[in-house]
């Protein structure tokens, strides 16, 4: 899957969870939960939505590789075929 499609999937799901936050305004290397003001349930919903739309398992033990917007994108790139 192209980088563009991965990034637009991530943006789309983040927008559903945090519609009040503009991607342009966040620090892409900052803690994603802080940047988007999301809690553990929101994060779980984000992972569930991405896991489904991109057909990736996104295991809980990998959560620490998904800490920021950029880290999440890198994780998606590394794991999608």
Partner 1 sequence: MAEFLMPSLGADMEAGTLVEWLKKPGDPVRRGEIIAVVETQKGAIEVECFEDGTLDGYLVELNTKVPVGTPLAMIRGDGEEPAATRTEAAPEPPPLPVKPEPDKVDAASLRPLPTVATSRGRLRISPAARRLATEKGVDPAALAGTGPGGAIQLADIGAGAARAAPEAEPQRTGGFNMYAMRDAIAAAMARSKREIPHYYMSQTCDLTKAEAFIAERNAGKAPEERVLVAALFVKAVAKALKKYKEFSGHYENGVFAPGETVHVGMAINIRGGGLVAPAIHYAQSLDLDTVMDKTRDLVARVRAGRFRASELSDPTITVTSLGDRGVEAMYPIIYPPQVAIVGIGTPVIRPWVVGDEVVPRSTVTLTLAADHRVSDGHRGGLFLSAIDKNLQEPEKL
Write out the residues near partner 1 by the rule CB under 8 A.
Answer: 18, 20, 33-34, 37, 39-41, 44-45, 47-48, 51, 57-61
Q: Choose between 4 and 38: whose C-beta lies nearer to partner 1.
A: 38
Give the separation between CA 36 and CA 69, rounded to whole angstroms. Answer: 10
Q: List the end-to-end C-alpha distance of the chain, in Å, as a whole number.
A: 7
Per DSSP, what are the bridge partners of residue 68?
A: 31
Q: Choose between 20 and 22: whose C-beta lies nearer to partner 1.
A: 20
Q: Choose between 1 and 44: whose C-beta lies nearer to partner 1.
A: 44
* 56: three-class secondary structure by DSSP: coil
């Amino acid at each position: 899957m192209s980088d563009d499609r991965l990034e637009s999937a991530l943006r789309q799901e983040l927008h559903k969870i945090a519609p009040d936050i503009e991607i342009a305004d966040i620090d892409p290397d900052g803690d994603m939960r802080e940047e988007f003001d999301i809690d553990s349930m929101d994060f779980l919903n984000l992972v569930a939505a991405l896991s489904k739309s991109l057909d990736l398992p996104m295991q809980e033990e990998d959560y620490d590789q998904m800490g920021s917007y950029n880290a999440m994108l890198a994780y998606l790139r590394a794991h999608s075929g």
